[in-house]
Amino acid sequence: MNGWTQTVLPVAAAAVVLAMLLAAWRLLRGPTPVDRILAMDTLYLDTVALLVMVGIGADTAVYFEGALIIALLGFVGTVALSKYLLNGKVID
Amino acid sequence: MDVEHIAVADLLVAALLMVGALFTLLGSVGLVRFSHVLLRLHGPTKASTLGVGCVLIASALWFTLGRDGVSLHEVLITVFLFITAPVSAHLMAKAALLLNPELRGSVIESKAPPGQHE
């Protein structure tokens, strides 16, 4: 199969990379700590989308495991940082 | 499967990829453009469910059609994201309200309180 998907894939990947750049701008800019956590979370999710696209482009399933681990650790990281802001420690 | 069906499926995968990428981009535009923290929470939530969800469905469809047998492990990430997105958004909103309690009134009036503009 080599048609629409392979044609569209670079455009979609470029859109996700642009989204990651915008999230990185918010990560550096702030202004509140919650904005930075939110930007990190968005970066994790965009990385998952980008890895899945790379997997489709290379036609292998090896990138899937990486995407799954990034999704899991991204959630844990977001929860840990938010809990730290909420009560000064991660595990009560 | 005959050639015509594969062409239709190819078009469907391409459309899902473009919709997913567009929602991901719009989520980040919302993250940059909205005026205060609680509004900024709104954008990336759509990117995580609709955007990444569409991309993962496209991937499941692609690997189901391109290989023998059904490829369903992408659904694993989709389900995980649908479960965890509200939890992390709730915790971030709680943290934002703890850091700046004045935000409570601003949600109803939908405007930024003084000092919260960038």
Task: For residue B72, give the CATH number of its domain.
Answer: 1.10.287
Asked if the model's pLDDT at residue B51 lies above 60, the reply is yes
Look at residue B98 and tell me if it is in a domain. Answer: yes
Contact A33 B99 (CB under 8 A): yes
ipTM of the complex, rounded to two decimals: 0.86
> Does residue B21 fall inside a structural domain?
yes
pLDDT the model gives residue B2? 64
How many distinct structural domains can be found in chain B? 1
Full domain range(s) for residue B104 = 3-109
Range name among A72-86, B14-28, B91-105 with the lowest pLDDT average: B91-105
The more confident residue out of B73 and A20 is: A20
B114 within domain boundaries:
no
DSSP of chain B: --HHHHHHHHHHHHHHHHHHHHHHHHHHHHHHHSSSHHHHTHHHHHIIIIIHHHHHHHHHHHHHHHSSS---HHHHHHHHHHHHHHHHHHHHHHHHHHH-TTHHHHHHHTSPPTT---
> What tokens appear for A51 in the block?
């890895």
The mean predicted confidence, pLDDT, of chain B is 82
**pLDDT at A30 (0 to 100):** 77
pLDDT of residue A46: 93
- Determine which of B4, B6, B11, B25 to mutate to test the interface with A (most A C-beta atoms within 10 Å): B25
Answer whether residue B108 shows pLDDT above 70.
no
d(CA B13, CA A4): 8
